[in-house]
Amino acid sequence: MLDCNVMDCSDLSLVWKPLADLPDAEGFAGSYAGVSNGALIVAGGANFPEKPLWEGGPKRWTDRVFVMPPHGEGWQDGTPLPKPLGYGATASLPQGMMLIGGSNAGGALADCYMLTWEDGMVKCRELPSLPVTLTGHAAAVMGGKVYVQGGSIAPGEQDAESRLWIYDPAAETWAEGPAMPARGRFLQQMATVGNTIYVLGGIGLKDGEDGRMVRDMLTEAWSYSEATGWRRLSYLPRFCAAAPTPAPVIGGKIYLLGGDDATVKGFTPQNHPGFHNASLAYCPANDTWAEAGEIAVARAVLPCAEWNGMAVIVNGEQRPGKRSNEVWGAKMH
């Protein structure tokens, strides 16, 4: 692991490698991705398979599961989820890949599942539900426990949470931790370095002129540990939301890969030029940010998983309403 006591920008660029496309013509946004027994698993998400969003196509959530076996080069179909599900959070644990909350056509959900790769197949086990419904939240693993922060209790950007929920896999129980002492947020990025979790960027809500809630893009960065509690960190140099999360930690630095930087405004989904493909790197050792160069593809609302020495990003939105079925892996030079 590189020493980031001094942020050396020459160390920040990543090498990108295309992996096999997910075997779905449209691809998905809001999927879950993680690792179990060396296999890369992708589950759930949503797309517009019938016709584009701008032609009135309905959003469809999926229950499909795909698996790339250890050191494999292609995808296999797995046993479907118990229900269509997307826009939740994922945690890769020694016990398996945990799916946490999310939503489907019926609204926000509290459901949780554990997916495992065993005997050449994906198995699914139901876990205790979240204490509340959540969608658009994020998660990180610290000390063997899963920390879930933020999100919305109801879809449609009606509310944003500040609360912290902690899942103990050994006891299979949820507990509420200390809420972040700041406004609620969703589509934020989370990561873990050592005994500290990080909550970076995201989207808050504020009252609009017509009385409806409108987006407020955030540049806040926070950390939490049991020893220090919540601490405010240096602000992001620019907005970042809906980048791959859990955000990968490479060379001791947390990477925010693309996402939505709020610079593209006033476009309809049909003529939207797409999201940006720039990245940021945060160094926890000295609380500094740096631009980290371009990434392979511009994507938003997608998961990330560490697999075979790579940070793997799966599908996501190229622009509102338009998905990709591509899968990419990154590692440092």
What are 98's two structure tokens?
């945990």
For residue 4, is it within any domain?
no
For tokens 């200390």, the residue is 178
For residue 1, is it within any domain?
no
What digits encode the pLDDT tens for the residues 199-247? Answer: 999 999 998 888 788 899 999 999 999 999 999 999 999 999 999 999 9
What digits encode the pLDDT tens for the residues 71-84? Answer: 888 999 999 999 99
Evaluated on CA atoms 148, 150, 152, 153, the torsion sign reads positive
For residue 3, is it within any domain?
no
For residue 2, is it within any domain?
no
252 backbone dihedrals φ, ψ, rounded to 5° = 80, 5
- For residues 52 and 74, the answer to whether their CB atoms sit within 8 Å is no
For residue 164, is it within any domain?
yes
**Residues pairing with 112 in the sheet:** 100, 127
Side-chain-side CA neighbours of 134 within 13 Å: the count stands at 30
Burial label for 181, CB within 10 Å (0-12, 13-18, 19+), is exposed
Total domain count, the chain = 1
Strand 304-307 relative to strand 310-314, pairing = antiparallel
For residue 86, is it within any domain?
yes
Confidence of residue 333 (pLDDT cuts 50, 70, 90): low
- For residues 226 and 201, the answer to whether their CB atoms sit within 8 Å is no
User: Residue 42 belongs to a domain with what CATH number?
Assistant: 2.120.10.80
Q: Is 9 helix (H, G, I), strand (E, B) or coil?
A: helix
**Residues pairing with 278 in the sheet:** 294
As a whole number of angstroms, the distance between CA 188 and CA 151 comes to 8
For residue 194, is it within any domain?
yes
For residue 233, is it within any domain?
yes
53 backbone dihedrals φ, ψ, rounded to 5° = -55, -45
Q: Which residues constitute the domain of residue 225?
A: 9-332
pTM of the full predicted structure?
0.94
What digits encode the pLDDT tens for the residues 20-31? Answer: 999 999 999 999
Closest CA to 233 of 288, 184, 160: 288
What digits encode the pLDDT tens for the residues 310-330? Answer: 999 999 998 888 999 999 999
Side-chain-side CA neighbours of 330 within 13 Å: the count stands at 25
Side-chain-side CA neighbours of 325 within 13 Å: the count stands at 13
What digits encode the pLDDT tens for the residues 269-282? Answer: 777 666 888 999 99
